[in-house]
């Protein structure tokens, strides 16, 4: 038998079921006190309606209510585990019109109510879902970058990005900065760090993006950066040149090097000045980077070149030591014209190695014969013992060069390797140490000034190279004139000689360099184009002049100087087979030639040097070209 329950009694039963759900919810969460509803009008974000929460550990989907062990979906019968009763516990935002409530007495009543139990529907309900459970969390990272900005191209910009994850990350987050657009390169100090720095190499507008991934979910943000160009005027760069040493009667050649950024008005000017020194300095042209200087007294000077762009200026100095003039030679020092060449027979029968395209030099009163076609030994002749000894070979070919002595070592500059007709120029200076009998590699010759078969002399502790060929025997003859300072490994380009020539040796007479003989070698007319003119460089004036032409043209002559004369010995002609045996002497002071007695053995391209009061000539080739090398050794006494 059923009884109809009065409305107020029915409401009481509903309230009882609601309170039961609250108590069970509190117990399920481990709380010892009943949960209460904390809902207010207005913004209810993040607020939980405890009165509408499911309390069973196995409650199902959103919108379920359950006070028993196995709650079911909306509209299902809900059985309370209490003795003899069933209760319909409704959830917030659901209609519980289809539930059947069982009263403690076992009477059933169809609930006619269609209302929200325990929920305020006014205002914002964000964060509260149907059934009181939280909404599903968005796993996409929240990325923020700094505001758009403008910087100078010289600046480094700090990028302080931020990345926020809602809930636990799904996977290892991946962060990266990239350039989306812009005219140049954007270089990040760490492209995978949210906080990093960036620089740019071109002015313009750039868009950069910071991205962060959380598994398949990617968040990003962008920043626009305007990079503006700025050019700051820099002072000129000045190099006044390496330190120098000259005699009082010489004119020093100066060559400063300057460079600038062209700001503010693309104009440069400069001037030379004396900063320190005991006497007066006369400059050829104060404002010219390439000028000359002469000195009124010996001593140590400091010269300075200052360059300005109209706004900023820079200076550089060089030290100059001015020495006493070299003694003037006495005409009586010239070779006695009546003297004859004598064959040298050594005390122990030793002989030099036969060779050609070689050279000789004197050091500590001993003659050193070196180089030649092929790999040749260094031979040393000691006139006091009247014998030759072998000092070993460099291990590679050295030919077509003129050695000089500096600092107790023999320098070979501008030599050729194989092979005819386009021999390779050896790019580095080769240095032989007589004390250790070892070769070493010196400074590199400037690439655009490399050549072999040139004239080389030493003057005031600097080495001078004139003429030569850049391509062996196949053209490439030049008139270049260069200075090398072995003290600081610096090079200086000097005014070209009047004449191109190769296959010759130069000589010094006082403060004048003499280039005589030689040819302009150009295969296949290898032995043609002999040079008859004489070029003379005056270190006192810094100018080239010409001497009287050579009476008998020749290339490959062996050359020495003594007194006022440059002596050319032997050589090869442009016609015939045999080499020359004639000896010519050019007097620099009188600008005239004379003939000395001829060699006993004709030859070209051997070695010649003055040692122990005599001109010694060794080795060479007795015919034009190669193939007939000799070991012959003869000398001409000077007195």
Query: Could you report the per-residue pLDDT of 106-129, keeping only the tens digit for each?
Result: 333 333 333 333 333 343 433 444
Pairing of the two strands 409-412 and 404-406: antiparallel
What gap in Å lies between CA 63 and CA 116, rounded to an integer?
12
* 554, 517 contact by CB (below 8 A): yes
Range of weakest confidence among 13-22, 373-382, 603-612? 13-22
Q: Is 1 helix (H, G, I), strand (E, B) or coil?
A: coil
Express as a percent the part of the chain with pLDDT over 90: 66
* 273, 280 contact by CB (below 8 A): no
Range of weakest confidence among 128-132, 342-346, 451-455? 128-132
Helix spans in 29-153 (H) = none
Q: What CATH homologous superfamily does 331-637 map to?
A: Kelch-type beta propeller (2.120.10.80)
* 502, 518 contact by CB (below 8 A): yes
Supply the pLDDT for residue 82. Answer: 33
For residues 603-616, give the mean pLDDT: 97
Supply the pLDDT for residue 331. Answer: 58
**Per-residue pLDDT reduced to its tens digit, 332-352:** 689 999 999 999 999 999 999
Supply the pLDDT for residue 139. Answer: 87
For residues 266-280, give the mean pLDDT: 95
* 206, 181 contact by CB (below 8 A): yes
Q: CATH 2.120.10.80 occupies which residues in the chain? A: 331-637
Q: Predicted confidence band at 329 (pLDDT cuts at 50, 70, 90)? A: low
Q: Predicted confidence band at 327 (pLDDT cuts at 50, 70, 90)? A: low
What gap in Å lies between CA 131 and CA 79, rounded to an integer?
18
Q: CATH 2.60.40.1080 occupies which residues in the chain? A: 142-228
* 558, 608 contact by CB (below 8 A): yes
* 591, 547 contact by CB (below 8 A): yes
Which residues, including other chains, have CB under 8 Å from residue 564's CB and lie 6 or more apart? 329, 331, 333, 334, 509, 587, 588, 589, 590
Q: Which residue has the higher pLDDT, 41 or 517?
A: 517
**Per-residue pLDDT reduced to its tens digit, 517-540:** 999 999 999 999 999 999 999 998
Residue 355 above 50 pLDDT? yes
What gap in Å lies between CA 534 and CA 568, rounded to an integer?
12
Q: Is 576 helix (H, G, I), strand (E, B) or coil?
A: coil
What gap in Å lies between CA 475 and CA 467, rounded to an integer?
13
3-state secondary structure 135-185: CCCCCCCEEECCCCEEEECCCCEEEECEEECCCCCCCCCEEEEEEEECCCC
* 89, 113 contact by CB (below 8 A): no
What gap in Å lies between CA 179 and CA 416, rounded to an integer?
55
Sole residue written with tokens 């010196």: 442
Cβ burial of 160 (10 Å; 0-12, 13-18, 19+) is exposed
**Per-residue pLDDT reduced to its tens digit, 365-400:** 999 999 999 999 999 999 999 999 999 999 999 999
Residue 599 above 70 pLDDT? yes
Q: Predicted confidence band at 160 (pLDDT cuts at 50, 70, 90)? A: very high
Which residues, including other chains, have CB under 8 Å from residue 476's CB and lie 6 or more apart? 451, 469, 470
Hey, what are 332's tokens? 């009586």
Work out the end-to-end distance of the chain between its first and last CA atoms, rounded to an integer number of angstroms.
Answer: 164
* 323, 571 contact by CB (below 8 A): no
Supply the pLDDT for residue 527. Answer: 95
Q: Taking the domain 237-323, which CATH number applies?
A: 2.60.40.10
* 384, 345 contact by CB (below 8 A): no
Q: Which residue has the higher pLDDT, 551 or 13?
A: 551
What gap in Å lies between CA 410 and CA 395, rounded to an integer?
16
* 238, 161 contact by CB (below 8 A): no
Distance of CA 60 to the CA centre of its chain: 72
What gap in Å lies between CA 478 and CA 503, rounded to an integer?
12
| Number of Cα atoms under 13 Å in the Cβ half of residue 242 | 15
For residues 170-184, give the mean pLDDT: 92
Neighbours of 590 (CB within 10 A): 12
Query: Nearest 5°: CA angle at 527, between 521 and 532?
Result: 75
Which residues, including other chains, have CB under 8 Å from residue 39's CB and lie 6 or more apart? 47, 49, 118, 119, 120
Supply the pLDDT for residue 4. Answer: 40
What gap in Å lies between CA 362 and CA 381, rounded to an integer?
10
Q: CATH 2.60.40.10 occupies which residues in the chain? A: 237-323
Q: Which residue has the higher pLDDT, 449 or 31?
A: 449
Mean of pLDDT over the chain: 82
Hey, what are 283's tokens? 């400059």
Residue 519 DSSP symbol: B
Residue 475 above 80 pLDDT? yes
Q: Is the domain 142-228 a CATH 2.60.40.1080 member?
A: yes
For residues 303-312, give the mean pLDDT: 96
Express as a percent the part of the chain with pLDDT over 70: 78
Say whether pTM exceeds 0.85.
no
For residues 557-585, give the mean pLDDT: 96
What gap in Å lies between CA 616 and CA 378, rounded to an integer?
16
**Per-residue pLDDT reduced to its tens digit, 74-100:** 333 333 333 333 333 333 333 333 333
Query: Nearest 5°: CA angle at 148, between 143 and 154?
Result: 115
Taking alpha carbons only, the member of 575, 582, 579 closest to residue 622 is 579
Range of weakest confidence among 318-327, 491-500, 503-512, 617-626? 318-327
């Amino acid at each position: 038998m059923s009884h109809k329950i009065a409305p107020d009694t029915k409401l009481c039963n509903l309230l009882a079921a609601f309170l039961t759900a609250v108590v069970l919810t509190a117990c399920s969460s481990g709380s010892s006190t009943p949960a209460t509803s904390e809902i207010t009008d207005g913004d209810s974000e993040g607020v939980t309606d405890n009165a509408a929460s499911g309390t069973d550990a196995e409650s199902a989907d959103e919108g379920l209510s359950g006070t028993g062990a196995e709650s079911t979906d909306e509209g299902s019968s809900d059985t309370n585990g209490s003795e003899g009763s069933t209760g319909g516990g409704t959830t917030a935002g659901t209609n519980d019109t289809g539930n059947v409530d069982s009263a403690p007495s076992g009477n059933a009543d169809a609930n006619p109510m269609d209302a929200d139990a325990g929920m305020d529907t006014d205002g914002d309900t964000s964060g509260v879902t149907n059934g009181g459970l939280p909404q599903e969390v968005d796993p996409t990272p929240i990325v923020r970058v700094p505001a758009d900005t403008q910087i100078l191209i010289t600046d480094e910009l700090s990028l302080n990005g931020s990345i926020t994850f809602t809930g636990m990350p799904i996977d290892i987050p991946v962060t990266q900065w990239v350039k989306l657009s812009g005219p140049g390169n954007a270089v990040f100090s760490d492209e995978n760090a949210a906080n990093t720095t960036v620089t740019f190499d071109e002015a313009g507008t750039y868009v950069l993006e910071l991205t962060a991934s959380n598994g398949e979910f990617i968040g990003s943000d962008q920043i626009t950066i305007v990079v503006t160009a700025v050019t700051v005027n820099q002072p000129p760069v000045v190099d006044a040149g390496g330190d120098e040493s000259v005699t009082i009667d010489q004119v020093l050649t100066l060559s400063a090097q300057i460079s600038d950024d062209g700001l503010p008005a693309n104009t440069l000017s400069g001037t030379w000045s004396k900063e320190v020194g005991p006497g007066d300095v006369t400059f050829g042209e104060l404002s010219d980077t390439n000028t000359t200087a002469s000195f009124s007294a010996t001593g140590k000077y400091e010269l300075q070149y200052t360059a300005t762009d109209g706004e900023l200026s820079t200076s550089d100095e060089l030290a100059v030591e001015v020495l006493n003039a070299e003694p003037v030679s006495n005409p009586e020092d010239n070779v006695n014209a009546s003297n004859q060449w004598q064959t040298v027979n050594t005390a122990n029968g030793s002989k030099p190695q036969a060779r050609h395209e070689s050279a000789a030099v004197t050091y500590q009163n001993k003659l050193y014969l070196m180089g030649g076609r092929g790999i040749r030994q260094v031979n040393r002749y000691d006139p006091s013992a009247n014998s030759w000894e072998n000092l070993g070979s460099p291990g590679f070919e050295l030919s077509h060069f003129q050695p000089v002595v500096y600092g107790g070592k023999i320098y070979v500059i501008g030599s050729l390797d194989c092979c005819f007709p386009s021999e390779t120029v050896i790019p580095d200076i080769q240095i032989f140490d007589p004390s250790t009998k070892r070769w070493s590699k010196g400074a590199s010759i400037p690439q655009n000034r490399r050549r072999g078969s040139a004239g080389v002399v030493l003057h005031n502790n600097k080495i001078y190279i004139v003429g030569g060929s850049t391509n062996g025997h196949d053209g490439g003859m030049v008139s270049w004139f260069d200075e090398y300072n072995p003290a600081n490994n610096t090079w200086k380009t000097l005014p070209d000689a009047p004449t191109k020539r190769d296959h010759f040796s130069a000589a010094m007479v006082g403060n004048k360099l003499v280039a005589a003989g030689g040819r302009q070698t150009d295969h296949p007319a290898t032995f043609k184009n002999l040079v008859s003119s004489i070029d003379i460089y005056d270190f006192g004036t810094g100018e080239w002049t010409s001497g009287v032409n050579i009476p008998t043209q020749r290339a490959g002559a062996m050359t020495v100087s003594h007194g006022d004369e440059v002596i050319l010995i032997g050589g090869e002609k442009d016609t015939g087979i045999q080499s020359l045996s004639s000896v010519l002497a050019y007097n620099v002071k009188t600008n005239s030639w004379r003939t000395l007695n001829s060699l006993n053995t004709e030859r070209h391209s051997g070695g010649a040097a003055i040692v122990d009061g005599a001109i010694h000539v060794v080795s060479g080739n007795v015919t034009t070209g190669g193939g007939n090398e000799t070991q012959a050794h003869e000398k001409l006494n000077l007195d």
